[in-house]
Structure formats: structure tokens, C-alpha cells
Chain A
Amino acid sequence: MNRSGRYTAAFDGFWLPRSMREKVLSGATWETAYLRGGALVQPPAGGTTLTGAAENSAVTVRWPRLTPEQWTTLLAGLQASRTVAGAETAARWQVALENALAPLAEQMPDMLPLLSASTGYTPEMLTAALAGSDLVDPSSLAAALGFRPAWSVATRWETLPGLGGRIRFFPQGVSARARAVLTGNAPLFRPVPPVDLTLGYAAGNVPGTALIISLLGSLANHAAPDGTPAPAAVVRNSRHEPLFTPWVLSAVEAVDPDLVAGLAVMIWDYDDPALQALLFRSAGLMLAAADDGTIAALDAWRARYAPDLRFHRHGHKVSFVTLGSHWAARPDAPHQAALDSSFWDQNGCLSARVHFVEAGAPEYARALADEMRSLSQVLPRGATPRRFTHRAFDSYASLTGSGRVRMLSEYDDDFAVILDDRPWDAGALRRAANYCQGRVVVVRPVDDVMEVPRLLRGLPAPNLQSMGVLLDSGRLEPFAQEVGARGVTALRSLGRGAFPQLAYSWDGLLPMDICHLRPLGQFTTIEPEPSSTSDLGV
């Protein structure tokens, strides 16, 4: 890839190991796309290819459309390139990512406009997100992969060895809960047979999903017998976010080519039965971070072609924030909470939607609105449609006549903050959560934070994800217990919503789940206060 982009006809929106590019791409046909503001657009007039340097310019991206023979060649080549031992993979990633940081930082000025054009997020937001990315600490992965919980973790909160933070397993079903009580010391996990290929599907709403899936997918043989190589991995990336992952993988390849020699990040059509059948039948593990419709479609393919294929699903999720009554004693709390709802313009599952506040909700809402107004300057919103914000504004403005709804923002603000003190039922919470897209926060006063799990009962448990919290230490665990039982899978400090630690629960799954089997249920983790002094610059 020509990083400056100025003289390149099209950027590569895919990634193949250097050793395989010529072999696979020889004679390939190409699909070209033009991306601006995070959307696919028509080709620029006159066929000019733009480079991302100019304001409002489109970036031209291409990827190969492989023939069945080329796919076969690719899969065989990836298999032949598996040389890194499964057990070493996590450590190799840690080293490689650490060493890749410097070249990535050097390339950043050239890449930023391209990433902004392709994803629709502003350069300021991308810069801040990448600045915070050292909070995604790959070194903790090694500790997470060493975690060997017993059934006792289903009966109490336990400390994650070497990581800090706490964990609890919420098993599904009465018999599993009974077993937890009866067999507390028995291991929860059991190994799975080694995997030759991991198949991944990544949505493009937030940058980097394909990278995370690539990394996690490569860990599938971490617990396999000595000498078992890491699996090959084929990840289907989104047409809307084709540049970030190839960029990072190229930097990783420069550091450790063997680590990524069995990895391909491609774009192909879902509606290609022959290819899907080939991939599903070849894979031993499938990971997907996508919308529920896509996951349902993948489930249908799986039922048809490979019913035994292990499948980790990451679908529609919503996240929240809860602040205990002492929030006012933490002057930065509204700022941190504002970050949780501003990153990625609530276009990702990690973004906090409703903020539950135990005391002083009107004051909090005002302070939050001030912070979100400031953030709209230093962390400007991207291409997420402003009409989402307007729709929420309109809907709640129409309710102000009741005296129980207050608007803390103006129609023309880049965000909306609403204080809603009406009686709530499950439907009201669901509607509020659904309105909170495009930097919309509904502040909900509660008399006691333990009302929050009761309210969450009205939402589908599989759709719950993270909870940003500011609670006294003595109240944290009982609160986590209740929201975990409702389906929340991660609790983390305010301001860290957009930066989950891979080592902890992602939608109820731990890194250990990649290479083990366990009973149905979900892990909920309480992530520790970060020791990192990372400055997001906002």
C-alpha cells in the first residue's frame, strides 16, 4: 500500500500475507469501491481517484474477487504457512503489536484522512481512540489465557489471577446452577480439539473489529497439545471499514511475518453459497461481530453446512452508565461519562446510552450536557446521521409538557441530553435505549442504584453488554451481581467504555472460550480501575 496515497490508483481493502499475494492474486478480478463519510459513494466524476488528503474527498479502495480455484489456493497456502505454535501465539502478538506501534505512529498522519473518509469518523475521534488504545493491553491476554476457573466461579465473585478485577459466571439453567453448588472445585472449562481454520465476520461500524477477530481467532489452539500450530484464519471484513485492519496487519507483518502468515482478511459476498459452504466446512471455529440479522443468516448457513462448527456470536448490544450518589464528589465524573457516550457517536455497542443517576440527577444532566458540548468541539462527531439526534430531541421535546421531561440541549447541538423522570416501564427503557444513537443520552434518576437491575429486566438479556460504573467499592459487587444476573457482561470505570480490555468478558465470553468448551452461560467481569495514565487528549 502506498501510504501517502497520492499516487495510488486504489488502496488495498484486504490483507494477505506477503508470501501469498502473488500466488493468489495472479489473474484476480477486482472490485473497486469509493468511500466518503463512511459510506459507499459513486465514482468521482472523470474517473479521478482521490486520496483522502483533500477535504470531503473519497478514498478509492479495492479488493479481489477470487475464483473458487483461487480460494482453494488461498486456503491451502494459509494451511501451509501455519508455523507458530498455538501456545506461543498470544505472546507473539504482544511483542509484535508493541513493536508495530512506532511505525504505525509514524504512518498515522498519512493514514488518518483515509481512515476518516472510509469510516466516517473524524480525525480527532480516531486520534483519541488510537491514543487510548494502549488501554487495550495485549499483555493481559496471556494472563487471561492462563485463567483456569472452577465451578466455584458460578457461586461467587473471584479475582482474576494476574489481572486484577473480578469475575463471576452466570450459568444457564437450573441444573447448571445446582452443579455449581455441588461441584465447586471441578474445572469449568474442558479443552477442545485443535482447529485448522478460524472463520471470522466483522462489521464495519467501529474500526478494528476485524483485527480483534483475527487476533482472537489465532488463539484457538492456545491450549492444544505441544507442537500444534495456531490455526489459519480467514476474516470477512466490511466494505465500510476496509483499511484499518490491513494497515495494522502490514505493520505486524513487518515485525513478525510468521505470526500472520496464516491469516487473510478479505471481503466477499454473503450470498455466495459455494464459497460459504467451503469456508464453513473448512473451519473449526467461527467468530462474528455483526448485526443480529447477519448472525441469524450465519446460523442458517452453519445449520446447513457445518452444524458442529463452534460459533461465538457478538450481535446487537446496548450499554449503560450507573452513578452512585457520591458522583458529585468526583468532579470529572460527567466528563468521563460524556466520553462513554461520545466515542464512536454511539455507533457501537460499547457506547453508554441511558445514564442512571442515584442523586442529583438534574445537576448531573446539566453537567453532562456541558461536557458533551465541550466534547463536540474537541471530539467532533462524524458522519453518523444527525437525524438520529434530532429524532430523539423531537420525541422528548414533545413530552416536556408533562413537567417530568427536561431538555438539557438545543435542537442544533451535536448531541442531546434529556432528563426523563416519568414513571418507567420496560417499554420506556427500551425506547429510551433505542433513541440513544448519535450522541443522545437519557439521564434517568433512580432512588437507589439497585433499581437499575430491576429496570434491565425489561430488556432482552442477550442484548445487554457493558455498564460504566461509579460506585463505592462496597456497593459494586452486589450491584454487579444483580446486573450480571440480568445479562450485563462487563462493568468498567467511567470513561473507559470505548476501551474494553480484551482479557475480560466480551459479551460473556473470555479469551479462554476461544480454546475451550464450557457449560452455557455468561461471564461477567468487573474490570479494575486502569493503572494506565493514558491521556486521550480530550
Chain B
Amino acid sequence: MPLPGLDAFFAFPAAQRGPLLLEGIRASHRYHFERNAAYRRTVRARGVGSDVGHDDLPRLLRPAALTFKSYVETIGPFPQDDPRGFLAWLDDQLSIPLPEDRQGALRRRYATMEGLLAAAEHAYADLGLELVTSSGTSGIASVVARDATTVDLAVRSFFTGIQRSWGISRGAALVFVMPENTRVAMARSARIGTRQLDWAADTAVYYTMPFSATPDRIRLRAGRTYRPGPRGVVESRILHPLMAWADARLVAQKYVGVTLSRLRELTAAGRPLMLLGGLAQLHAVALESRVDLPAGSRVATGGGTKEQYPFTPDQIRADLVAAFGGAPVSDVYGMAEADWAAFECPRGNYHIPPWVYAVVTDDADRIVQAPVASGLLAFFDPVAGGDLIPPFFQTADRVTLVNGGAHYDPGLVCDCGYDSPHIAGRIQRVDLMEEAGCAAQI
């Protein structure tokens, strides 16, 4: 049975979504199991075949970070040194074959990861290949492939959420405190979306981070993974401190200035706007100056705080509200590996799109069966996940999920009226064990 389109899911009775999505998951699994070598290897080792039942669902979930950083195990953390090895890894990860005749178009090596990813995108431009990356703190980038179809689904998902959850639609100005040229998934979705959905035609769109954010820059900035040998010494002793200094002294000053100038300009014109950026970046803007945004405007934060930051999210939000004239401040939760995002509603809950089958798993990787369940968030996205990569992933985020999976309690529908699975309360990253003592990772 074909699955309905994204918009149709909003009208579909919530109690009936589960069975429909489960059927979609089975079909999606069968499709990818037959075509995707990496996925098949993983789930087969877990004892899963091409046909699955409800009990098999947890065994279809792959940890997102593990999956999209797995190139490290085969070609090392610097794929630019082995472009063919990288393409072989990519081919292994995809459910469509990468035409082999393009490999000759790639050089033997690239100076940067950005160079390699751009060349690979160029070589497979006819597929609409987009390689987005995470902005993780380890410096090792998750590399997630999207094709024209999944890009389209991701941006439609993102902009559908913006419209439905926050009431931001075409005509409102968009100010993104992020670079226009980046591979970070949400920023790229924003850029592609405004272009592809033709918002830019009647919507002013601004990117106020006047520097590119390539995976190489992000790695150096993180300061945890360096090239081997003398180059690594230069990176660790010179480039990393230099970037830290430049970020603190120059970059912040620059984007804060550009952002404030855009906000003042739009405010003077009385044009409602959505200001979107990372918590720390928006906080820097808020601490610099106060701008009373026009009615109908919204401030949107995303990405959490990646590094130690001396203010809590609650403190930052309070500062944002005060600095931007009481405009509502909302958060968005998303990740490179997902073609969807969860938007925070006025009740403080993060709504997962109704076409996503979201669950939480316990410490033994079992799905927690309850309408209100706490554990690590995992999701199956048989509708918008596309045909490129099996869209079944376990995140490293501990959440409390309401009305997720097969559970639906009408009494637990969010007071905001949006009837979808939602994350209640805080989202906590659990990469490391709590009180790990002497045994943590090195």
C-alpha cells in the first residue's frame, strides 16, 4: 500500500498512523536489505532477514554516529587521502549503486575533506548527490549522503515544520546566523529549501556568518583530531589556537555586527522575521545589543551547546527574550542523519513529524513500550527517509517521548493541539557514561 504524502499525514487519524508506518517500515527494510550491503551486513549479524516482524524493529536500528563515521574504520579519519576508498565506502552505504565510471574523475588525493566531498558531489551531480556533515565535537565528521529525492523530502519536511509549528511562511524574512556555504545539514537544508521551494522569490533570506564552515575548519576548531606527522603539529600548535583566537575576536564580532544590522534593517521596515541560529551564537548577538523585533517574529535556536558554555540553555533563552523584545523563542531539534526536524511548541514540547515512527530504547537496546517512555530516541522514517539509506536510526539523545511508536493515548496529546509524537522536557546527549570514574574513553 503506498504511503500518503507528508501533508496527508497531518490529516490522518493519529491512532491509525502506527499500523500504516509499520507496514512502511517492513517494506522499506525489505527494499534496503536487498540493496544495501552495509545495512544487510549489520542486521544479518543481528539475526535479521529480509522479512521482519514487530519484534525485530529494534534490530533494524543503527546508531547514527557509528554508521556515518564508519569510514574511519576502513580508510581512516582523513578520507581525502584515499578518494577511491571513500567512494567504495560510500557505495557500501547506499542502496543505489554508484556508477563506477566516475571514479576516474577524482584525483588521487585531496588537500582537504571539503575538496573531496565537493569533487564527489560534482562527479555524481546527475544523481543530485549531496554530502552533508555533522558539526560534532570530536572533529570526525559524520558524512551523510542525500540524493535529489531525499534532499527534496528533507527541505519540504523542514519548511513544513517551520510553517506548521511556528507559523512562519513565505513573506517573513529569514535571518540565519550560519554560513551560507556549509555542509552542516540544517544550514544546508535552509539554504537549499529557500532556493528550491522558491521562498527567496518573496522572502528576504540572509546568512550572517560571513565565513565558510567546511568539515576541515570544524575539525580544526574542535581541536581533537589532527593530521598525523608534522602537519598535525602545525594544526595543533598553530592553526587550532589561531582559529580559537580568531573565532573569539574576529568571527564573533563580525557575525554579531552583521546580524544586528540585518535585524535593525528589517525591524525598521516593520517586517516580521525568523532569526535562527545556535544557542551560543544567538546569545552573543543578544548580549551585544537589544532589538525589539516586529510583531509576528520568532527567534529559533538549534544544535544545543556543543562546547562548555558558561550559561545554561534556560539562561540563554531568558536573555534572548529580553534582547529581542519578547519575541517567542523556540528550539528545533534535528540531526544530519534525519530528514526531519522536531520543532518546539509553545508548551515546550518538541513535535516529531507524524510520518516518523519514533520510539525510545533502553540500555539493552529494547524498545520501551509505554505511551510515556524515557530512553534513547530512535526513529524509523519510511516516508521521507528516501531510498538511498535505510532511514532507521538510534540517536545518542536521551529523551522522554510521548505517544511514540505503537502507543497512542489521546489524553496525552500536547495542549498546543499538534497531535504528533513529542519529546517532553530536556534532550540530553549521553555520549559518555555518567560518573564514568576511571573507566571512560580515552
Contact = CB atoms under 8 A, between A and B. Distances in A.
Interface in B19-66: 37-38, 41-42, 45-47, 59, 62-63, 66
B439 A346 contact: yes
A347 B441 CA distance: 11
B43 to A, nearest CB: 9
Interface string B284-304: 000000000000000000000
A348 B45 contact: no
A397 B436 CA distance: 26
A129 to B, nearest CB: 15
Interface string A364-408: 000000000000000000010111001101110111111000010
A173 to B, nearest CB: 20
B72 interface: yes
Contact of A205 (B70, B363, B435, B441): B435
Contacts of A84: none
B37 to A, nearest CB: 8
Contacts of A318: 442
A204 B435 contact: yes
Interface string A181-196: 0000000000000000
Given A205-B435, A407-B45, A292 B363 contact: no
Nearest to A400: B41
Nearest to A395: B66
A351 B439 contact: yes
A362 to B, nearest CB: 19
Contacts of A177: none
Interface stretch (B73-81, B155-163, B275-283): B73-81
Interface in B66-112: 66, 70, 72-74, 76-77
B423 to A, nearest CB: 19
Contacts of A459: 442
Given A316-B442, A385-B363, A386-B365, A399 B73 contact: yes
A342 B192 CA distance: 50
Contacts of A385: 363-364, 433
B435 A291 contact: yes
Nearest to A318: B442
Interface string A427-466: 1101101100100000000000000000000011001000
Contacts of A39: 434
B41 A314 contact: no
Nearest to A435: B441
A410 B434 CA distance: 27
Given A394-B62, A398-B38, A400-B45, A427 B76 contact: yes
Interface string B414-442: 00000000000000000001111111111
A285 to B, nearest CB: 19
Interface in B336-392: 361, 363-365, 376
A209 B437 contact: yes
Contact of B437 (A289, A383, A430): A289
The residue among A397, A398, A433, A463 with the most chain B CB atoms within 10 A of its own CB is A398
A397 B437 contact: no
Contacts of A398: 38, 41-42, 70, 73
Nearest to A428: B73
A290 interface: yes
Contacts, number: 119
A39 B430 CA distance: 14
A143 B437 CA distance: 29
A492 interface: no
B46 A395 contact: no
A314 B76 CA distance: 31
Contact of B47 (A289, A411, A425): A411
A508 to B, nearest CB: 14
Given A391-B66, A411-B47, A425-B76, A289 B441 contact: no
A209 B37 CA distance: 46
B206 to A, nearest CB: 38
Contacts of A344: 439
A387 B73 CA distance: 19
Given A398-B70, A411-B46, A203 B365 contact: no
Contacts of B441: 316, 434, 437
Contact of A433 (B70, B76, B437, B442): B442
Contacts of B42: 394, 397-398
A349 interface: yes
Interface in A328-353: 344, 346-349, 351
A240 interface: yes
A205 B434 CA distance: 9
A315 interface: yes
A39 B440 CA distance: 17
Contacts of A412: 47
Contact of A316 (B45, B72, B440): B440
Contacts of B47: 410-412
A114 interface: no
Given A385-B364, A411-B47, A431-B72, A348 B438 contact: yes
Contacts of B363: 383, 385-387
Contacts of B59: 411
Nearest to B76: A427
Contacts of B66: 391, 394-395
A58 interface: no
Contacts of B73: 395, 398-399, 428, 431
A206 interface: yes
Contact of B72 (A290, A391, A427): A427
A317 interface: yes
A291 B440 contact: yes
A238 interface: yes
Contacts of A240: 435
A314 B438 CA distance: 7
Nearest to A349: B438
Interface in A416-430: 425, 427-428, 430
Nearest to B430: A385
Contacts of A428: 73
A411 B45 contact: yes
Contacts of A205: 433, 435-439
A308 to B, nearest CB: 26
Contact of A463 (B72, B361, B442): B442
A289 to B, nearest CB: 6
B232 to A, nearest CB: 11
Interface string B254-291: 00000000000000000000000000000000000000
A203 B46 CA distance: 35
B46 to A, nearest CB: 4
A427 B77 contact: yes
A125 B174 CA distance: 58
Contact of A315 (B72, B365, B435, B438): B438
Nearest to A393: B45
Contacts of B442: 316, 318, 430, 433-434, 459-460, 463
Contact of A289 (B76, B364, B438): B438
A428 B75 CA distance: 11
Contacts of B45: 393-394, 397, 400, 407, 411
Interface string A210-251: 000000000000000000000000000011100000000000
27 contacts: A206-B438, A239-B435, A290-B437, A290-B438, A291-B436, A291-B437, A347-B437, A347-B439, A348-B438, A349-B437, A349-B439, A351-B439, A385-B433, A386-B364, A387-B361, A387-B363, A391-B63, A394-B62, A394-B66, A397-B41, A398-B42, A398-B70, A399-B74, A400-B45, A401-B41, A411-B45, A430-B442
Given A412-B47, A431-B72, 10 more contacts: A290-B437, A346-B439, A386-B365, A387-B361, A387-B363, A395-B66, A399-B73, A402-B74, A410-B47, A460-B442
